[in-house]
Structure formats: structure tokens, C-alpha cells
Amino acid sequence: MQSIIESLQNRDENFILKRMLDNLAFFRVHNKKIANAINNTIEGKNTKYQLLFSDDDINIIDLKNKVFLYPKNSMLNISSNIASNPLNNQLWKVYSNDVKLAKVDIKNLAITANYINKMVDFAYLNILDSNPMLHLPQLFLPQSNIFGLCGGIFLQILIESGYRFHSLLIFEEDIELFSIACYFVDFKALFERVNGRSCYIFIENIKTKSFLNHYFYSKRVTNNLLRLELSAFISPKISQIRTMVVESYKSNSRGWGSFEDEMIGVRNMLKNIQSSNILQSPKKFDATICVVGSGPSLDENIAFLRKNQDKMIIFSCGTALKILRKHQIKIDFQIEIERIDYLADVLCDARLHDTPIICASVVNNDVLNIANESYIFNRGGSASSYMTLDSSVIEFCAPFVGNAGFSLACQFSNEIILCGIDCGFIKGKSKHSIGSFYGKEDISLPSNVFKVRGNFDNDVYSDSIFSLSKESFELAIAKYKPRIVYNINYGAYIKGALPIKDVKLKTIINKNILNEQIKSCFTPSIGLKSDLNIAVERYICALKNKILNSNIITKQDLFCFIDDMCHFLFQESSNNPECGILFEGSMLHLLQNMLFCLLYAKTNDISYLFATLSNMIIDCLESFLLEYKSI
């Protein structure tokens, strides 16, 4: 069979027409919109882009601007250059999400860190040499993102050269451009050369970020480690979409958690359900709730809070307490979610006094002891929250306490104001409000940030954790559906929240009555589920069997094994969160370190190395089980 280059050099019109018709048949089954666009291209109905295929040149014409996308007689050469050895080609870029093979501090991750460090020691003794390099299998490309196909000839060359993609995301900004690529790219063959249903094609736009998040999350470890990127075409739309992809990629590396953190939460929960009422039957009341964080926009909104504090319920989140106290603003409830052991000292320093506290059931019991009134809630994403018989689990409470404050507010009100919650860095301002717990901060932007849409078109930047927080707000808005959410901050735009600089509140409310109504939604805990120990033992046994029954010889096998393990972990975290969430985070870290260690091996036969590292993971699981049984 002729290659794509030979066919085009010979100006074989039958070849490209047959390829187009094959793609038309393929997309008629899988996507009728693309099939219609292909049909329009065949019939010459395109209005923006058209293929030039003549003895003199092969090119793409921009009909609107009356220009060619390629210099004359260069399309084939440029496409060949793009397709040449992508992992060592300056036209492609490789990113690692700042993941490094390094030992972990054992202080807070006693078991997980111990076994990660054993893996690292093993790698240095048995795998790495004086010049360590990652070695991917021949003709195998990691998670890859292509922005703009520009005809896609280079993609067909990669297919014909035998390349496989572990996962592939393609964005083409115009459906006519994509239909022109159908003259050259065998899309059926492309889908067959991407592992495990992981070929995502977006055309013209990405309607919802959840598709992007699913792309990364579905292969959370293997899509996190390496990202190969090609921007074959530059435009404002492609730059915007690339920013979205980078944002999802960076967010994917956050929020994994660990067994040790979860166990702190479990121990704290066992104490807290005995001493405080827990949220079980939330109701909505006719009052505005203002959720206050300690972002830099809080400084701009102190006057608003002072003016309207008698017209709304104020939820102070985390370190906002100290600033609100300084400005004599009456706080109705202090919200906390952190497991950290020094949280009680922070609250004492910020003068909690007689303010009622609502905190996640995982917080240190000392926090409840210093409060005159304390109430707890089951925080989604914590294993301990699913161990109780209490039914109300509040989701989207991470990564910041402001997220928890908002999700709680959604349980009690249909009108919510976000204040001091910026979800990003504002150029020229510190990360937190002036006078916060964090003291004086540098106003320069960190090196790992990327620009995002501002709530009021400000110079706003984000990083992986701020991006995760913004996404959590957006998911909470979509899930809980409050009637109106006002965003009065100068930070990042939050989809579903109305950007407004001043909310007009007219009615003074009876805060005492409303606060008592909110408190009445908290009642004594029912207790724990039965047979938790049996469930955990079954879970550990299932994990061990999956590892022991895996026949891993090559690095390609390794990628598939890790994806299969991640699928099991996510499924269990969804179906049996009291077990799944407890172990998921540490397992992800262990699997990522296994992948990283084995990619340094120069040979593609990794069977012996895999067996040694997998035995370390099995030993780690046994240690987890013993630690769990000790509570």
C-alpha cells in the first residue's frame, strides 16, 4: 500500500478521495455532525477553508483572508518534519507536571513514604545509571495533546510509521479544517492506535471542562507523568483551549491524599461524633449567607461587610477570622475543615471567643474543645465521612475551607455571596488579605502560574490548586443549584456566579433566630456502620490479588496495568468510599513511583523489576491493614 507521502507526491486523487469516503463512512456511525461537514467539503460547499490539490501545490486556502496556510510547496516537508521523532523534536514539547523521582519526607507519611523511599533506593541501585534518562518503548508516545491539525498529514505519517499513543487529545478550531484533514488521516486506524478508548477529539470548542477533566482523570497516573504537546497552528482560540488543557493537567496532580491523612481523619471523627452534633437534616432558610475567605479581595470588601453585616449570615472560613475580628465584623459561624493538629492554636490566636464553629468531622478534637459551641458535618472525599450512619455528606469541600463554607451555605440558603474568595493570584497583590495569619507576603507571581479569566477582567493568574478550588465551586453550583450566587471578588471568574461589585441588601434580619434554625439541623450522631473491618480486609485482599495476578513484561503492559489499577481504585472510591478513599491516595502515589522507576529501565522487558516493586506495594498494603486495625 502506498504511504501518504508517496500518494501525495504522485498527486493520487483517487487515494485522497477514497480516504475521505472511508472517513465519511466511519463518522456516519460515530458522529453525524462531522459526517455532514465531510460531505460539504466533498461537494465544495466550504465557506472558510478549502483544500488546494494540484500539480503545482498541495495547500489549504483560508477563503476569508485569501491566504495559504503553508508556504508554496512546503506542506509535505513541514508535515514530515513534524512527524519526525516527536519525543526528540523541537516542534513538540514534553512536560512532566513537576513529578520527580525523589524520596519523600517520612514525618507525616510514615508508611507510604517508607515504601516510596524503598522504591527510590531500589531504582538507584538497580535501574538508574550515572546519566539517568526515561526510556519509553519504541514507537510509543505518552499522553499527547495536538492543537490544530493543519491538514493532519503529519498524524497519518505517525500512524503509518507504527506509532501508538497511550492517550491522545486533539483540538481543531474549525470543523472545515477538520474535514480537510479527513482527506489525509485514517481516523479509524488512529482510534485503533490509542490505548483504551482514550482518543478525544474536540472541534471548534470544548463545551464543558468536565470532558477535559475526565480525559486526565480516567488515567490519573499515566496521564499525569508525561504530556507531549504540539501546537501546529496558533490562534487566539487555540491559545484559550490550550490554557484550559494545561489547567486540567495541572489540577490532575493535586488532591490525591494519603492513607496517613485519612487515618488522622478517622481517629478524629471517632472522638468528634461523641462530643458534637452532626449535620443530618439541612434546610434552606430565607436569608442571604456571605461566605468569607482570606483572599486579597477581602481588603476591598471590608466596607461592604461592615455595612451589611446585619442583613446577612456571615460564614467566616479559616484564616478570614482574624481579619474580620480586627474590623469588628460580627461572625455568625466559623468554618473549618483541616486535620492539622495546631488548628486550635490558630483559632485561639485569631480570637474565636464565643463564635459557634462548624467543622468537618475530621478536624482535631482540640478545636471542638476550645469552642463554646461546636457542630460537625461529614465532608465529602474523606473516608471517615462514609463510615458513619449519618446520611448527609457535603460534597465539594476541598481543596480550601472556602469551598467547604460555600457547600455548607448551599445547604441553608438560595442566595449566597462570595467574599475574599479569589481562586487565584491578582497581579500586584499578595496571596492573602492584609493582616492574615500568613503575615507579610511577597506580591510577585509564582513561576508555575497561568493566566485565567478574571471576575472583573483583572490580571488574574492561577495554579493547580487554585484551579481545583475554582472547579470545585463550579461543580457545587451545578450540584446544589442555589438561586443566585454573587461573586464580589477581583480574582478568578467562577462559572455560575454573577460578577458584581456591590450587592444591594435592604432588609435587616433576625440573626439570632436564623442562627438557631441553622443549629437545629445538627443532631446527635447515629453511630458507625457495622462490619467496617471486614470491608477493609476484603478491599486489601482484592488489591493484592489484582497485583499478584498481573503478568507484566513490557512497559506497554505497565501502562495498561496502572490504568487498570486506577480504574479499580476510582470504582471502589465511588461504590465503597469508606474503604476506597482510605487507600486511594497512597496507592496512586505508589503506582506513580512504580511507573517512574520502571521508565528509567533501558530495556523494555521489566518483568523482574516489576515483580520486586509490586511486592513492595503488597507489603505496604499489609502495613496499612495493620495500622487500620490498631484504631
The per-residue DSSP string of 503-545 comes to --------HHHHHHHHHTTEE----BPS-HHHHHHHHHHHHHH
> What's the pLDDT at 206?
87
Q: What are 270's three cell numbers?
A: 471517632
Q: What are 586's three cell numbers?
A: 497512597
Residue 195 sits in which domain range? 4-82+136-251
**Residue 375 placed within a domain:** yes
Based on the fold, state whether residues 247 and 350 are members of the same structural domain.
no
Based on the fold, state whether residues 457 and 606 are members of the same structural domain.
no
Q: What are 86's three cell numbers?
A: 516527536
Of 476, 509, 542, the one marking the end of a domain is 509
> What's the pLDDT at 572?
95
> What's the pLDDT at 366?
92
**Residue 624 placed within a domain:** yes
Top-confidence residue, 441 or 376 = 376
Q: What is the pLDDT of residues 219-245, one digit of tens each?
A: 999 999 899 999 988 888 999 899 889
Q: How confident is the model at residue 353 (pLDDT cuts 50, 70, 90)?
A: confident
> What's the pLDDT at 501?
93
Based on the fold, state whether residues 317 and 397 are members of the same structural domain.
yes
Q: Is the pLDDT of residue 63 over 90?
A: yes
Based on the fold, state whether residues 504 and 536 are members of the same structural domain.
no
> What's the pLDDT at 468?
87
The pairing of strands 374-379 and 144-147 is unpaired
d(CA 479, CA 8): 52
Q: Is the pLDDT of residue 616 over 90?
A: yes
> What's the pLDDT at 272?
95
Nearest to 483 by CA among 575, 389, 580, 413: 413
The torsion angles phi and psi of 319, rounded to 5 degrees, stand at -75, 0
DSSP characters over 187-227: HHHHHHTBGGG-EEEEES--S-HHHHHHHHHTTTTHHHH-E
**Residue 258 placed within a domain:** no
The torsion angles phi and psi of 537, rounded to 5 degrees, stand at -60, -40
Q: Which of 224-233, 430-439, 548-557 has the highest mean pLDDT?
A: 548-557
Q: What are 534's three cell numbers?
A: 471486614
Based on the fold, state whether residues 287 and 240 are members of the same structural domain.
no
Based on the fold, state whether residues 300 and 220 are members of the same structural domain.
no
Q: How confident is the model at residue 516 (pLDDT cuts 50, 70, 90)?
A: very high
**Residue 474 placed within a domain:** yes
> What's the pLDDT at 350?
81
* Type and span of the H or E element at 498: strand 498-499
Based on the fold, state whether residues 213 and 307 are members of the same structural domain.
no
Q: Is the pLDDT of residue 452 over 80?
A: yes
- From residue 231, give the alpha-carbon distance in Å to each of 90, 148, 199, 347, 363: 11, 6, 17, 49, 46
d(CA 504, CA 139): 62
> Average pLDDT, stretch 189-195?
95
Based on the fold, state whether residues 77 and 180 are members of the same structural domain.
yes
Based on the fold, state whether residues 296 and 334 are members of the same structural domain.
yes
The torsion angles phi and psi of 168, rounded to 5 degrees, stand at -145, 130
- From residue 611, give the alpha-carbon distance in Å to each of 246, 434, 541: 34, 53, 18
Nearest to 335 by CA among 369, 374, 298: 374
> What's the pLDDT at 305?
97
> What's the pLDDT at 576?
94
> Average pLDDT, stretch 444-451?
86
> What's the pLDDT at 211?
87
For cell 504540539, the residue is 230
**Residue 427 placed within a domain:** yes
Domain count, the chain: 3
Least confident residue range of 85-89, 210-214, 271-275: 210-214
**Residue 271 placed within a domain:** no
Q: Is the pLDDT of residue 478 over 70?
A: yes
Q: Is the pLDDT of residue 1 over 70?
A: no
d(CA 347, CA 322): 8
Based on the fold, state whether residues 455 and 583 are members of the same structural domain.
no
Based on the fold, state whether residues 301 and 434 are members of the same structural domain.
yes
> What's the pLDDT at 507?
87
Q: What are 97's three cell numbers?
A: 507536571
The torsion angles phi and psi of 212, rounded to 5 degrees, stand at -60, -45
> What's the pLDDT at 276?
94
Mean pLDDT of the chain: 93
* Type and span of the H or E element at 15: helix 13-30
**Residue 8 placed within a domain:** yes
Based on the fold, state whether residues 177 and 318 are members of the same structural domain.
no
d(CA 437, CA 401): 14
d(CA 159, CA 244): 27
> What's the pLDDT at 208?
78
